[in-house]
Amino acid sequence: MSWTNFLIVIFIVYLVYYSLNLFFDLFLSPRTPQGEIAEDELFFTQTFTPELITPDEKIEEVTSVDEAYKKEKPITSISTGTVASSGGISLKHLFALAKDNLIEHTRAIPY
C-alpha cells in the first residue's frame, strides 16, 4: 500500500464518518418545538426593588499610617519547625559542591 492509497482511504473514512454525523443530526435527531421554552434555558426575574443601604456607624478617619497599624491586630507567625533548605546558590557553587561530594542524594534521578 502506498501513501497515496493510504491517504485516499483515510479521506474516504472521514468523509463517510462526517456525512453520517450530518445525516443523523439533520434527519434522525428529535426536533424541539419553536414555541415552547427549552428546558436548558434559565430565566431570572427580580421581584424586589433595589434599596439604598447606608452604613449605620461612622467610619473613623485615621490621620497617619502609624495609627492604622497600631489599631490592627498584630500578625503572628507560625513556626514550621526545622529549616528545609539553606537558600539558593549559584550554578558554579552547585558544581563545586557536587565535586566535593557535599550534596546529599536522597533518591535516584530518573532520566
The full DSSP string for 9-24 is HHHHHHHHHHHHHHHI
Q: What is the model's pLDDT at position 26?
A: 87
Q: What is the model's pLDDT at position 61?
A: 59
CB atoms within 10 A of CB 52: 4
Would you write out the chain's pLDDT as a tens digit for each of its 111 residues?
899 999 999 999 999 999 999 998 888 877 666 666 656 777 777 777 878 888 776 655 555 556 656 666 666 666 555 655 666 788 888 888 888 887 777 777 776
Segments making up each domain of the chain, as ranges: 1-29
| Residue pair 89/97 in contact by the 8 Å Cβ criterion | yes
Integer distance in angstroms from the first to the last C-alpha of the chain? Answer: 38
Which residues fall within 8 angstroms of residue 12, CB to CB, at 6 or more apart? Answer: none
For the record, the C-alpha cell of 15 comes out as 468523509
Q: What is the model's pLDDT at position 38?
A: 59
Which residues fall within 8 angstroms of residue 71, CB to CB, at 6 or more apart? Answer: 62
Q: Give CA separation, 36 vs 22, 26, 60, 88, in Å.
A: 25, 20, 57, 66
17, 21, 22, 24 alpha-carbon torsion, rounded to 10°? 130
